[in-house]
Structure 1
Amino acid sequence: MFDSDPSAKPVNAKLPRAVIMMIEKNNLVMAIKTLAAEEKISMEEAKARIDAYETKLKVKQQQKLTIIANKQGIPSSALNFDTEQIEDEFEPLSKDCVKTTPSQQGFKSLQAGLDSQLDSLGYKKPLLPHWAKRLLVIGIVMLGIFWILWRIFAQ
């Protein structure tokens, strides 16, 4: 194939080790500046090379994940490589109930899931929580020591 600009470096040229480490740490601005300074190229060219490297890296990661998923029997349609997360639709407000924040809803669903898991295992919650038992024992020991000291020094 004919190369129209012989002075242009190929996009597939290997990146320096320091630049690769910066890309892996998501320090893209420093990676672009370092690549442009080391190889004396424009910022746009450096950005294009780094973008190409990132794309190649993401494709390799997706292929590895797909291979692992196939080995484990997970269908490839279940894998979603989109980085954008879809916001939940908000329900219209009603006067009857209080709307909780998503973090509170997450905690409540986690708590409900844990309770159902413990119920399925046959675990029953104790009548008195562990921390209350400890406080009760500490209180009884303190009362016993106070009573002994009172009996000794009250005479």
Structure 2
Amino acid sequence: MFNPDPITKPVNTKLPKAIITMIEKNNLVMAIKTLAADENISMDEAKVRIDAYETKLKIEQQQKLSTIANKQGIPNQAISFDREQDIEEDSGPLVKNRVKSTKSEQGFKSLQAGVDSQLNDLGYKKPLLPYWLKRVLVIAIIMLGVFWILWRVFG
């Protein structure tokens, strides 16, 4: 008969390699159809098995990411596994000249702030002129010198 709660029965998460490859490539419909055809089970049972495998895979990935972050000294609050909820928008009063930044800009700003704090912790001091500006200045001075020499010779 129909089981309204498929979670109550034990699920075998062991899947064939071809199905695992389809899941990793995000071809879930084909994986469900192939699993159902190969093992002569219903599409619902195949979906439950694939969903169980996906959740197991996500949990393993989160655990690996957490261990890597802990080894690098990153706090657990800084890691967000759900990218949709990581930034909360504040709906303050509207200001005419204020431009609201997008999520990617806020992410870059937080990354930049994190890098700056790490460099400050290491005692690194930023140079007065960036490296690229020094290089541009050297090239400009050399070009001015060459043009001055050419002007004196042919002028």
Partners of 2:131 and 2:62 in 1: CA distance: 48
Instruction: Return the offset for 1:19.
Output: 0.7
Following superposition of structure 1 onto structure 2, how do residues 91-106 of structure 1 map, counting pairs within 5 Å? 91-95=91-95, 98=98, 100-101=100-101, 102-106=103-107
- Supply the AA of the counterpart residue of 2:25: K
Partners of 2:93 and 2:108 in 1: CA distance: 21
Alignment match, 2:32: 32
Secondary structure, counterpart of 2:98 in structure 1? coil
Alignment match, 1:45: 45
Instruction: Return the offset for 1:18.
Output: 0.3
TM-score by length of 2: 0.59
Partners of 1:104 and 1:82 in 2: CA distance: 19
**Is the contact between residue 62 and residue 81 of structure 1 (CA under 8 Å) also seen in structure 2?**
no
Following superposition of structure 1 onto structure 2, how do residues 70-149 of structure 1 map, counting pairs within 5 Å? 83=82, 85-86=84-85, 88-95=88-95, 98=98, 100-101=100-101, 102-149=103-150
Instruction: Return the offset for 1:13.
Output: 8.1
Query: Between Structure 1 and Structure 2, how many residues are aligned?
Result: 138
Over 3 Å counting, the alpha-carbon distance change for 1:25 and 1:122 in structure 2 is same
Instruction: Return the offset for 1:85.
Output: 5.0
TM-score by length of 1: 0.59
Which segment is superposed worse, 90-99 or 140-149? 90-99
Alignment match, 1:3: none
Partners of 1:13 and 1:137 in 2: CA distance: 63
Partners of 1:92 and 1:132 in 2: CA distance: 39
Percent identity between the two aligned chains:
62
Q: Please tell me the root mean square deviation across aligned C-alpha atoms, in Å.
A: 4.2
Partners of 1:84 and 1:114 in 2: CA distance: 21
Which segment is superposed worse, 95-104 or 21-30? 95-104
Q: Unaligned regions of 5+ residues in structure 2, if any?
A: 1-9
**Is the contact between residue 11 and residue 49 of structure 2 (CA under 8 Å) also seen in structure 1?**
yes
**Is the contact between residue 33 and residue 43 of structure 1 (CA under 8 Å) also seen in structure 2?**
yes
- Supply the AA of the counterpart residue of 1:98: R
- Supply the AA of the counterpart residue of 2:135: R
Partners of 1:27 and 1:20 in 2: CA distance: 10
Partners of 2:80 and 2:121 in 1: CA distance: 34
Partners of 1:124 and 1:56 in 2: CA distance: 45
Instruction: Return the offset for 1:129.
Output: 2.3
The higher radius of gyration belongs to: 1
Query: C-alpha deviations, 1:28-84, integer Å up to 9, x for none?
Result: 11211222333444322322332344455556x28966xx69xx7xxxx98x99758
Alignment match, 1:7: none
Over 3 Å counting, the alpha-carbon distance change for 1:116 and 1:43 in structure 2 is closer
- Higher RCO (C-alpha under 8 Å, 6+ residues apart): 2
